[in-house]
Structures are given as structure tokens and as C-alpha cells.
Structure 1
């Protein structure tokens, strides 16, 4: 086999291998796009469904996730916790979660009242952000993560949590807590009310553009190989 022929074979195998790899990566991005679209459809259906009372939520938290709810009760500000390292528009901060006690219920519901700037993303003085004790508002259901790791809180800040591990949180309250929490969406009308947490946008992410890029790389590899073979 001549050196020219050997070089053609090597470059052909290399170009085809690159094209196959790029096509595989492009197909992977397409599958991720479909999964994102499916997830968005589920979220949109729940986000725009009629609002329900907490007691009307499905028992399955996966089915209750993202449902809009009406919440009423009394805040227990003395037992609120801090959800640390919560960024907002590039700024570090935390979320304040306050237990809500409801009439004739022995189980409290944690309410994410909003975001507060924190230079280190972990510590704040919650006193200036105390709202009225009584809540009659609206929000959506969020679920606690079920897969770790769940780093333990810093002993110096025992009520600050990097991740919301429900089993660990339950030990910090004198009453049971629900197996979900509510993110408050009512406008913050009082100066002491923290800015509410914004809902995640229902976009498709970068997957479509990534797929186009990978398919383009595959096409460039094959076309480049064809030009090389014709010229040699």
C-alpha cells in the first residue's frame, strides 16, 4: 500500500469516526430537548391549572409539584430557617423559609418567603425581614430533594442549610412538617417582605443549538473528507 493510499485510509477512518461521534452527540442533545419539552409541558399544565387549597393537593408529592395553592395560617418566625447559597441576578444571597401553622392541623408547612442579599451567601439578620404573623396568600408547591449528598449545617449556624434535607429539617422543629414546601408568589407589599423567588422560565435551554452545532461538525467532517479525497 502506497503512503498516499495509507494516508487516505487513516484520514477517512478518522473523519468518519468524528462524524459518527458528532452525530451521536447531536442525537443526545435532541433527546435532552424532547425531555425538556415534556417536562415543560407538565410544569405548564400545573402552573396554569386552577389554584387549589393545600388540603386538596394529591398525596403524591410528585403529582403536587408546581401546583398553585392558596395558603392561610400563622407564621412561626421564631423557628424559620435559612436556605443558603441562593443566587439572584448574579448576586449572592439566601432564601428565608418560615413554618406556617394552620388551624386544626398538627403539621406545619414551610413557606419560602423570598430572597435576601447576603455577601457570603450564608448569613443574614432575619429580624428586618419579619412580615405580618398572619398569611393569606398564594404560591406554588416545591418538593424536597430525595438524593444526597446532604451536608450537615455548620454548628455555628444550625438553622442554615445548603440543601433542604427533610429528615434533617424535621429534627429542628417541635412539630411535624409537610413533605413539601410552598414558594410564596404574592407581591412583596411591605418593606420588610423579601423579594419573592422567581419561577423558573419554561424555555428549551441550549439543547437545540448544541444539536445543530454537533450535526454541523459531522457535516464538516464528511464534506472535508470528500474534498480531500477528490483532490488527492
Structure 2
């Protein structure tokens, strides 16, 4: 009887473990479907004609997200910030956050923040911003991206007051000294580093399935192993 009770208990534990693995596999498949749906949106919007900065006024950012934008604006390098502890191709660095005022004056006193590129930094926060400047008037294509959801914690780094730990729109507006548009722009261009003192464009998010399918198959494999292992155990006990 005790042997049978152990077999039943082990079977229950196996069923629970297998069910958890199957549920995790289904969750990964759900994430795969969500990613494919987002990839479809990114592909469609990326193929549409670029918008002007003026056309972004009053637009719902959920609709304009991932749209290409034509940028013509005066860069305020004196108010430039960096997003600290970034990496690109395995190298530590920062992302340059440059406030821009559109030439056509369509946004008034509101600054539009452009993620202008990646810059190498050994400590992930300190760079020579003067050497990283481009033209006073920036003319480029960019990709419209959203600010990340608010997160707890201090947005700036105490050791570097113009280095951001978190991309918080309100904090950026305070440091820039004027209102900030409810979106950012990711500058498009050459993503291959030629000079560590000059900014390199940050590549857009890849339109791929990611690891979700392989993760799902792994979880389903674990569930199969649990079930087959129990079957082998139960047969051995009966013998």
C-alpha cells in the first residue's frame, strides 16, 4: 500500500510539473503571436511615406508608433542628455538624447527629443559631448518611438546630473528646461561604428520572431520528459 501511495503521489507531482511546463509553453506561443502582430504593424508603418514633424501634432502615438519621420530642426546641444549604461555590439556606452526645435515652428516651445545615436563610453556614462556634435540644423529620417512606461527610482544619476538611468519624460523636460513632446525619435542611418568619438546610429528593433518558439518547444519537451519519466518509474515499480 505504501508503495502504491508513493507511486500515486509521484504521479500527482509529475502531472503538476507537466501542466506547468505546458502552460509556460502556451504562454510563449502567445508571446510569439503578439510579436508577429507587432512585426506586421512595424513593417506596414515602416513602408508608409514619412511624416513631417508638423503632422505629428495632436496624433495618437499608438497610431504613429514606428512611423518614419522627416526631421528638420535646430539641435540644442547645450541641453543634451545621455541615457547611461547602454551597449552596442558588446561595447559599453551611452545613447545621446538631443532636444530639437523644428524649423517650421510647428511645436512652439516644445522640444522634440531625438535619440541621436550610440557613443562609446568606458564607464557607461561619461562622454565628450562637444566632439559628438553634428550640424546645428539636423536633417534626417527617424523612427517614432514611445517613452517607456514610468518606473520607480531616480531617473538621473547622482554622479552625472545629465546622465539618465531611466527615460522619464517629466525629468527630461525639467533638465531640458521646456516641455517635451510625448514621443521620441530614433535617428536612422549608419549603424557601423567608424570613430569612437562620433555617434553611431542605433539600429531599430529587428523584425524577427525572437526566441519564443524555441522557448515553447523547450517547455513542451520538459513536459514530455516528466510524463515519460513517470511512465518508466511506474512500470519499474510494478515489476
TM-score, structure 2 normalization: 0.87
1:211/1:187 Cα in 2 relative to 1: closer, same or farther (>3 Å)? Answer: closer
Alignment match, 2:167 = 164
Q: Which protein is richer in strand relative to its size?
A: 2
What is residue 199 of structure 2 aligned with on the other side?
Answer: 194
State yes or no: 1:80 paired with 2:80. yes
Mapping for residues 145-224 of structure 1, pairs under 5 Å: 145-187=148-190, 193-224=198-229
Structure 1, residues 109-154: CA drift from partner, whole Å, max 9, x if none? 1112111111110111111111111122101012212321241423
Equivalent residues, number: 231
Given that residues 188 and 194 in structure 1 are in contact (C-alpha distance below 8 angstroms), is that contact kept between their aligned partners in structure 2?
no
Distance change >3 Å, CA 230–CA 62, structure 1 → 2 = same
SS at match of 1:163: coil
Three-state SS of the structure 2 residue aligned to 1:93 is strand
| Distance (whole Å) between structure 2 residues aligned to residue 221 and residue 90 of structure 1 | 38
Q: Would you identify which runs of 4 or more consecutive aligned residues in structure 1 move more than 4 Å?
A: 188-193
RMSD: 2.2
Structure 1, unmatched stretches of 5+, are none
| CA deviation map 1:130-185 (0-9, x unaligned) | 11111221010122123212414235522211112111111123433211121111
8 Å CA contact 2:49, 2:68 repeated in 1: yes
Question: Structure 2, unaligned stretches of length 5 or more?
Answer: none
Question: Which residue of structure 2 aligns with residue 92 of structure 1?
Answer: 92
TM-score for the superposition, normalised by structure 1: 0.89
